[in-house]
Amino acid sequence: MPSLKRIAVLLLPPIVTDLLRAIRNRHDGDGGIVQDIKDAVQGSAPEWEAVPEADWMASNGWLHSSIVATQVEKWPDFRASVSAPRALGVAHEAKPGAPANISPHNIIMTFGYVLGRVISARPGTPVRVLDWGGGVGHYAVLAKELFPETAVSYTIMDLSPLIEAGRTCVPDAVFTADIDGALKASYDLVYASSSLQYVRDVYGLLGRIADTGSRWIMVCRMPFVDVSDDFVVVQRPQRYGYDTEYTGWFLNRDKFVKFMQSRGYRLDREFLNDERPQVANAPEQCSYRGFLFKRADD
């Protein structure tokens, strides 16, 4: 039987198929193509679009009720997907029942490598982790799955609706929405996965994180460009079940690394993520990357 993609190509008029060819292939199977077809036919706005910095949304799209509702709904499937001896390769944003995929496997193993570096530097001692923007606690669960014999004191900083749900999902982790309180302490690792780019004053926050004097700082799943200066994009993440939209930064890689160096951190290792959204009107397309920084005087 022909695939849904091939049927779409055969039946749609040329003007629509030409438009679809310009849309980057998605990693969620035929469902992504169906959404692309729907967007093209209905003339809806693109999932990703560069906008002027002045158009930064005053309201926080991450506070929409669908964010918490979707993460909680997917939680049982996520927990099942990471239980041993299964391959760790299902993203927490994935639809229930989705198969393991190399891209999320790479991200999870990157987290495991970083946490392993932190643990190896403090043998026999509980390590302290601050997960900035950790949602309802996905990485806290992964830390246990990856290092079940190691004591990890795990703190998650996020918006109030997410931490309220997280306390039920991961009762032995610490959840807080108090930014000042979270940044008063120093940690063995500050970990931020796909979160810092959604902060308007991203470099101000990075500076405050650096001021904690934590030994390691790791950012992951952040969009970077190599030539252009930082610019703002809007994302419309309906295909993940989030009925909202939010703005975020695409940051210049060298500017970002130099900023962290200026705050007393050296780049220890760079990582690649297999995420490259096609962004309308962007001066440069991004690649998602991760950076592990270590305190320079350590």
DSSP character string of 24-72? PPPSSTHHHHHHHHHHHHHTPPPSEEEE-GGG--SS-GGGSHHHHHHHH
Show the domains of the chain with their CATH numbers: 1-44 (no CATH), 48-295 (3.40.50.150)
206 vs 31 pLDDT, higher one: 206
Q: Report residue 72's pLDDT band, with 50, 70 and 90 as the boundaries.
A: very high
Q: Is the pLDDT of residue 41 over 50?
A: no
Q: Report residue 59's pLDDT band, with 50, 70 and 90 as the boundaries.
A: low
* Percentage with pLDDT > 70 across the chain: 85
Burial of residue 124 (number of CB atoms within 10 Å: 0-12, 13-18, 19+): exposed
Note the pTM of the prediction, 2 decimals. Answer: 0.83
pLDDT tens by residue, 99-110 = 999 999 999 999
Residue 18: which H helix or E strand, with range? helix 14-21
